[in-house]
Structure 1
Amino acid sequence: MYEVVLVDDEEIFLEYMQQAIDWPAYDCRICASHTNGLKALEYIITNRPDIVFLDINIPNMDGIEVCEKIRAAGLDTSIVITTAHDEFSFAYKAIKMDIVDYMLKPFTTQELEDVLQKVLKRLPSKDFSFHSSETAKPKKMKEQWLLQQIEYYIAAHYTETDLTIGKIAEALRFENSYLRRIYKRATGITITQKIEMLRIQQAKELLESGSYSNREIAERVGYSDQYYFSKRFKQLCQDTPTDYRKKN
């Protein structure tokens, strides 16, 4: 997947960028977002992402200077400038630094998609033909593969008390929101519900064995709090763990 970095001094705009389009559908992954020009530059130089969406007005080092230093470092990263100021001088400087495009904020989802497609057509080793029947089958296969990977990861880690959707997304290198959407659409339940279903099923088996206390079972199936475990067990099974043990 192509690595994308977002840089903007407004957290709310970074969030908009992350959610505005389905990045993985374009074979892209947002690997980092920054509100600080200097930190953004350090990350870009070290990690060499494929694409950077870069706001001009950012603290510590403005976007134009970040562009200059990226090019001075010899990186051919595709850069898209974003700014709320419609000034020709900015655009002129951007063109001189081989910027792919220049976007005036606020821009629409469609405008963002159009620019992203323009960027991707410049990148090597991929022939992009978006929104056509030719891409439907590979996209479906990718989603099926991803669904399988989510299931495998949950099965291997559901007993860990710190398991979260964010942790799964980081391990699989996909966006959190994309994982949630793909999984819910394919299974009809959320990832969180799946994790809890496995935990409760395992708890039932341990309760039926009669070998462990409620506290031990809670820890073994991924609950750090015995009382929360008992509460959730009753909500989902209509019995407390103790009552379930007696009946079974």
Structure 2
Amino acid sequence: MAMYKVMIADDEPLFRYYMRSKLDWSGHGFTICCEAANGREALEEAKQYLPDLALIDISMPYMNGLELAEKLKVNVPGLLIVFVTGHNEFEYAQRAVRLGVHDYLLKPFDQREFDSMMGKVKETLRLRGGFIPSYREAEGNEASLRNNVEQAAQEVFALFNEVSTPSGQGTLPVRHEFHPGTHETLLMALKMRDHEAAMDEIGRTIALFRLQHTGDRFAFTVLMGYVSLCLSHAGEIGMNPESLWKPTASPEQRLREMSSWEEIEDWIAGLYHKVIEYRPDARPSKSYNLFMAAKDYIHRNYSDPELTVDQVASGMYVDSSYLRKVFRKEGAIAVLDYITYTRMKQAKELLAEGNVKLAEIAEKVGYADPNYFSKSFKKHYGMPPSEFEQREIRIRQTGK
């Protein structure tokens, strides 16, 4: 059986050596096909070897990871990209995920974290099914590769055009204001087992589609992206993704069968609900209980602008370094990032209510400076608070 191919791009020779020789690639069905010490070299290597997966450092000479990722999306169709990054670059990694990068891995990481990430990657490649083999068969043949890409795109668009609007007239909308932070928010909701946040984001996206009245090829891709994200996380936590839908139909086929927006929303929301509610162990561990208690503490204190990791740890009667480890283990997230996530989520809810001054919202969610709050909101959601509020008004006008 052919193995999936991996490219490693990092300007640190010792780290490339560690990635190449100390991690179990073959056990996951992968093999390293090429390495690069900078972004420019990585782009050329990727064009030549056409890897299935690229692990990329964000800070590289000549061309940084974000620039490289954009070029790879164009030059190597179907490539999955994972950023390997340090804590000081975490915000850039979050931006990359919003731009379509598959995942990120925080340095330093161990074999367990590596295995978890590779499980998600392999599941995503598996769910792509028929296109990946034809992609590999086309290696070195530009015309054949282009034909395979176009054929796959046509199949997706054909599936998409068979999904009717609730009125039965036309197809899914051509233009919509897709929320750039939704992918990250949904991933966070899955990791944090935040059912409310997941349902809110799914409902918002469907509501945005309702605003339009003409056909769109993008909606099917967006919705299948949500499904793929959910199934990948299900595989990561040990849940059998095939238990989430009919064994006789693929997720793509299931979505094609939908005849209304309500049915689409209910199905996708149902998938997320099942995954969020899944518990692999009957008895929660001490680590998990501490994680949940710390989350609750943050929810009760996020409005305090002085809230810190040390304060949360003190409230839990544990050392701050231990609390950080627990959050990495149970939620794959830094404590400070979860504090920001909670504040942004609450800010979004306040903006959705309307008629609330920006300064008042900023104060309620723990920001003393409204301007800094606006910048943080835009960084997190990809749009300023004012634009988000106007969009919510349009959504309410649809009768959602």
Which has the higher Rg, Structure 1 or Structure 2?
Answer: 1
Higher RCO structure (Cα 8 Å, ≥6 apart): 1
Give the TM-score, by structure 1 length: 0.48
In the superposition, the TM-score normalised over structure 2's length comes to: 0.30
